[in-house]
Amino acid sequence: MLEDIAESPWDRDESQRVHALYLLDNLPVAERATMGRRLLTHLGRAPQMQAGSSRWDSRRYLLGNAYLHLAYTVCNQFTDLHREAFSRWVMLRHHEWTKELMPGIRDEATTVAVMLTPRHDRKRPWDTTVFGAFGDLALEPDDLAAMQRLWNNPQNAVADVNAP
């Protein structure tokens, strides 16, 4: 996954890619293997989804005094709509987290999230998408409400007793 990020096309300043990789590298080593197995399990389930439905499996880490929030997601599809939904999920989770922090610390808060989606062209097993959020996002109330309707609606959640 980190190699994908390092080698993929990047339309921003290269220093931002290096910084994102540095932040992702903060995940404790012992947790990396667990997270890797979890991501591979979710990628294996993705093709089993009924056509026209979307499945999102996510895991988040809040890393102590670093004010760092790392998130990993697998989605069964990769479209512009799914990429936009992912960015909205990251912004919402970042916003929810930073609102719990002391006001002076919010500007230091950083979220880096990675989404993996299966590929079906046999060139590579998955696509990797990275999205980051920094500090207080100052979301507009209408935008925040739309994100909450999408991502915090219990009707959109399905209990998965088999989740690793």
pLDDT tens by residue, 35-66: 999 999 999 888 777 777 888 999 999 987 77
Helix (H) or strand (E) holding 2: helix 2-7
Helices (H), 77-160: 80-99, 141-151
pLDDT value of residue 158: 63
The candidate with the shortest Cα–Cα distance to 55, out of 63, 43, 64, is 43
pLDDT value of residue 159: 61
pLDDT value of residue 143: 96
pTM: predicted TM-score of the whole model, two decimal places: 0.87
pLDDT value of residue 156: 72
Q: Residue ranges of the chain with pLDDT lower than 50?
A: 161
CB atoms near residue 50 (< 10 Å): 7
